[in-house]
Structure 1
Amino acid sequence: MVDRSVYRVDPDAVRARRKAAVDARGFWTERLDDGMARVEATSTAEKAIQISRRVDTLARAVCDNDGRTLAARKSDAHFCLVMGAAWECQCGNDDCDAATIPAEDGPTARPVPGTGSSMTLHVVCDLETVAGDGESPCFLDGYGVISPAHLEELISEPDVTVAPIGHLDDPLAPHTPGNPYRPSTALDTVVRARSLYCDVAGCERPAWVCDIDHIHEYDHDHPAHGGQTCPGNTGSKCRLHHNLKTHTAFLDDQTVGRDGRIQSVIITPEGLTVDGPAFDGTDLFPALKDIRFTAPQNAPPADTTPPGNPEPPPTRRRPRLADIHARRQTEREHNRRTRETEQQQAQAADPDNDELPPF
Structure 2
Amino acid sequence: MVDRSVYRVDPDAVRARRKAAVDARGFWTERLEDGMARVEATSTAERAIAISRRVDALARAVCKDDGRTLAARKSDAHFCLVMGVAWECQCGSDDCDAPTVADDDGPSARAVPGTGSSMTLHVICDLETVAGDGETPCFLDGYGVISPAHLEELISEPGVRVAPIGHSDDPLAPHSPGDPYRPSTALDTVVRARSLYCDVAGCERPAWVCDIDHVHEYDHDHPAHGGQTCPGNTGSKCRLHHNLKTHTAFLDDQTVGRDGRIQSVIITPEGLTVAGPAFDGTDLFPALKDIQFTAPQNAPPAPDTATEPAPTRRRPRLADKHARRHTEREHNRRTRETGQQAQAADPANDELPPF
1:31-68: CA deviation from partner (whole Å, max 9, x where unpaired): 11111100000000000000000000000000001000
**Structure 1 pair 151/234, CA: closer, same or farther in 2 (3 Å)?**
same
Task: Rate the CA distance shift 1:110–1:68 in 2: closer, same or farther, 3 A.
Answer: closer
Aligned to 1:138: 138
C-alpha distance after superposition, 1:306-358 (max 9, x if no partner): 999756433321111000000001000000000000xx444444469799999
8 A Cα contact 1:87 1:101, kept in partner: no
**Closer/same/farther in 2, CA of residues 107 and 269 from structure 1, 3 Å limit:** same
Q: Deviations over 1:222-281 (max 9, x none)?
A: 000020000000000000000000000000000001111000000000111100000000
Which deviates the most, 308-317 or 159-168? Answer: 308-317
Q: In the TM superposition, what are the counterparts of 1:21-32 in structure 2 within 5 Å?
A: 21-32=21-32
Quickly say closer, same or farther: Cα 1:292–1:91, change in 2 above 3 A.
same
Structure 1 Cα separation of the partners of residues 119 and 60 of structure 2: 17
Aligned mates of 2:304, 2:334 — CA distance in 1 = 47
Look up the match of 1:335.
332
Q: Of 307, 311, 315, which residue of structure 1 is paired with 2:312?
A: 315
**What SS does structure 2 have at the residue aligned with 1:353?**
helix
Could you state the TM-score of these two structures normalised by the residue count of structure 1?
0.93
Residue 119 of structure 1 deviates from its aligned partner by 1.2
1:24, distance to aligned residue in structure 2 (A): 0.2
**Do the aligned partners of 2:58 and 2:111 also contact (CA within 8 Å) in 1?**
no
What is the alpha-carbon distance in structure 2 between the residues aligned to residue 104 and residue 176 of structure 1? 43
Task: Measure, in 2, the Cα distance between the counterparts of 1:318 and 1:353.
Answer: 47
Looking at structure 2, the residues matched to 311 and 166 of structure 1 have their Cα atoms a distance apart, in angstroms, of 49
1:105 shift after superposition: 5.3
- 2:89–2:110: 8 Å Cα contact kept in structure 1? no
Higher mean C-alpha displacement, 163-172 vs 106-115:
106-115
CA deviation string 1:278-306 (max 9, x = no partner) = 0000000000000010000012256xxx9
112-121 or 344-353: bigger deviation: 344-353
| Offset at residue 116 of structure 1 (A) | 2.0
Report what 1:347 is aligned to.
Answer: 343
Dislocated runs of 4+, deviation >3 Å: 100-111, 306-312, 344-359
Alpha-carbon contact 2:87-2:110 (below 8 Å) kept: no
Cα gap change, 1:190 to 1:83, in 2 (>3 Å): same
Q: 1:108 to 1:68 in 2, by over 3 A?
A: closer
Contact 1:56 1:74 in 2 (8 A): yes
Determine if contact 1:88/1:99 at 8 Å carries over to the other structure. Answer: no
The change in CA–CA distance for 1:196 and 1:322 in structure 2 (over 3 A counts) is: same
Identity of aligned residues (%): 91
Are the aligned partners of 1:179 and 1:301 in contact in 2 as well (CA < 8 Å)?
Answer: no
Alpha-carbon distance between aligned partners in 2 of 1:170 and 1:14, rounded to the nearest angstrom: 37
CA distance, structure 2, for counterparts of residue 102 and residue 356 of structure 1: 72
RMSD: 2.8
Task: Answer yes or no: is the 8 Å Cα contact 2:61–2:111 preserved in 1.
Answer: no
Q: Structure 2: how far apart are the matches of 1:203 and 1:2? A: 19
CA contact (8 A) 1:88 1:101 kept: no
Gaps of 5+ in 1: none
TM-score, with length taken from structure 2: 0.94
- Superposition deviation, residue 21 in structure 1: 0.2
Q: Could you tell me how far apart the structure 2 residues matched to 1:272 and 1:243 are? A: 19
